[in-house]
Amino acid sequence: MYWSNLLESDSHTDRAIRIFLGTVLFLWLLFIGSSFEAPYHEKIVELYAEPWWRAVLILAVFFALLWCPRVGILLAIATFFYLHDVGAIADTQ
């Protein structure tokens, strides 16, 4: 299997978006994974309490998995870290 086959797409724009989102999510996961308590913006912590926000996150993961499984997996891991970290922050407040 070649690297070009990993990001199969019909257009150059789609491939560029997949590479961009994959890179951004990978770097964000490195940043979040390298710190014990990741700093989150106050509004992101406040959104955690809203049930619709968690539903939006799950839908985003679902549609990302349908679009590109590699980006979807990265988004699923990022969502897991976010929900876990913010849940811990919300429990201490």
State the chain's maximal CA–CA distance in angstroms: 49
Q: What is the average per-residue pLDDT within 51-61?
A: 92
What is this structure's pTM? 0.76
Query: Which among 72, 70, 53 has a CA at the least distance from the CA of 61?
Result: 72
pLDDT, greater one: 66 or 49: 66
Note the pLDDT of residue 28. Answer: 84
> What is the tens place of the pLDDT at every residue in 62-92?
999 998 888 899 999 989 888 888 877 666 6
Cα–Cα distance for residue pair 18/7, rounded to 1 Å: 7
- Report pLDDT for 92: 64
What whole-number distance in Å separates Cα of residue 13 and Cα of residue 59? 23
Interatomic CA distance for residues 48 and 45, integer angstroms: 5
pLDDT digits (tens, 9 = 90+) for 11-46: 888 888 888 988 998 888 888 777 766 677 778 778
pLDDT of residue 1: 44
Distance of CA 10 to the CA centre of its chain: 24
